[in-house]
Amino acid sequence: MRSGPFKHLASALLAYAHRLFILTFIAVLLHVGGMARAEEIACTGTNLVAELAEKDPQLLAKMKEEAAATPNGEGLLWRVEKKGVAPSYLFGTMHVTDPRVTEPPETAKTALSEARMVVIETTDILDKQAVMAAMLAKPELMMFPAGESLTDHLSPEESKLVEEALEMRGIPLQSVVKTKPWLLVSLVSLPECELKRQQAGALVLDAKLAQDAKAAGKRLAGLETVEEQLSAMASLPMELHVRGLVGTLGLGDRMDDMIETMIVLYDGGETGMFRPALSGLLELGEEEAGDYAAFEETMVQMRNRTMAERAAPLLDEGGAFIAVGAMHLPGEGGLIELLRRAGYEVSRAD
């Protein structure tokens, strides 16, 4: 495993790269902090991939080679066509409030203005009561049962790290000891600046697209429910979630660097670089590689298949603008390839 600033990066990147749309909202909902004007809050961070150009150009070249071999690994906007219906569009998003992300490219704006309907991962994110109702309906997804707590799954060393890291964020361990680790990761894997921006009213791109669609009188639809998203995350093994929590907290101030790295890749439409960035920045051990595979199957591949199936009838109506996390686009099991296999013609539109 690499030492120094890249230590624990794998778990943190997993937590961030596979972040569910709904978890961004939950993190803000749970966080207690001061308010400020969103435009006054700026994040700082270093692009870790760019650092490699000087520190390890061979590794960077290897990462770029892997990205180049990833099907559909470049581009955020894709045109989806089927004979007899108006064209639709598939657009990759990132669930943060950074201005580089929330201001879509002109090609996407044009496609959005022409669309009859806008489709996002889940429309439940627009209704706080719906989110809270889903959380309360199945508390076992988020809370440990009687007689069990987070510390039961931590070694003494891990307990100390978690306690100290949470205290630095103003969260006493005992106040969240009954909370399952995956929910805590959704809270601590966002830097303070991002949490404050969202608390101040800044919207992540998906929510902004949905809000604009409603204001324009367009039909709005979702591909998943909040309960499905929560259940998917909760279905992963407890030990995987614990390692993710410990690794994320161990990253400390490097969280801003992780955010910056992913934003720069996204801003450049380099979706094929997401996975090489993870494996390239850290030489994954067997356990971490297994964690990644489990995350990818549950949080990307399985959900891709569900999204493709549910998107089909909307695409068949024509004129849809479908916006989902950019991680869902590239690869053999990505939405682009799945839609092609379902009989749609999909071509890059940006």
DSSP string, 195-236: HHHHHTTPPPHHHHHHHHHHHTT-EEEESS-HHHHHHHHHTS
Residue 71 in tokens:
């099907």
Q: Could you give the 3-state DSSP secondary structure of residue 41? A: coil
Least confident segment among 11-15, 39-43, 119-123, 136-140: 11-15
Query: Using CA of residue 149, residue 150, residue 154, residue 159, what is the dihedral sign?
Result: negative
Q: How far is CA 60 from the centre of its chain?
A: 23
Instruction: Give the residue-averaged pLDDT of 334-346.
Output: 98
State the pLDDT at residue 167.
Answer: 86
Helix axes 128-137 and 226-234, enclosed angle (nearest 10): 40
**304 pLDDT above the threshold of 50:** yes
User: Which residues lie below 8 Å from residue 322, measured CB to CB, with a gap of 6+?
Assistant: 80, 88, 89, 90, 91, 119, 120, 223, 311, 314, 315
Query: Using CA of residue 290, residue 294, residue 297, residue 300, what is the dihedral sign?
Result: negative
Cα three-residue angle 237-271-324, rounded to 5 degrees: 70
pLDDT, mean over the chain: 85
State the pLDDT at residue 289.
Answer: 66
Number of H helices, E strands in the chain: 19, 6
**19 pLDDT above the threshold of 70:** no
74 confidence band (pLDDT: 50, 70, 90) = very high
State the pLDDT at residue 108.
Answer: 97
CA contacts within 13 A on the Cβ side of 317:
15
All structural domains of the chain with their residue ranges = 4-348
Q: Could you give the 3-state DSSP secondary structure of residue 117? A: strand
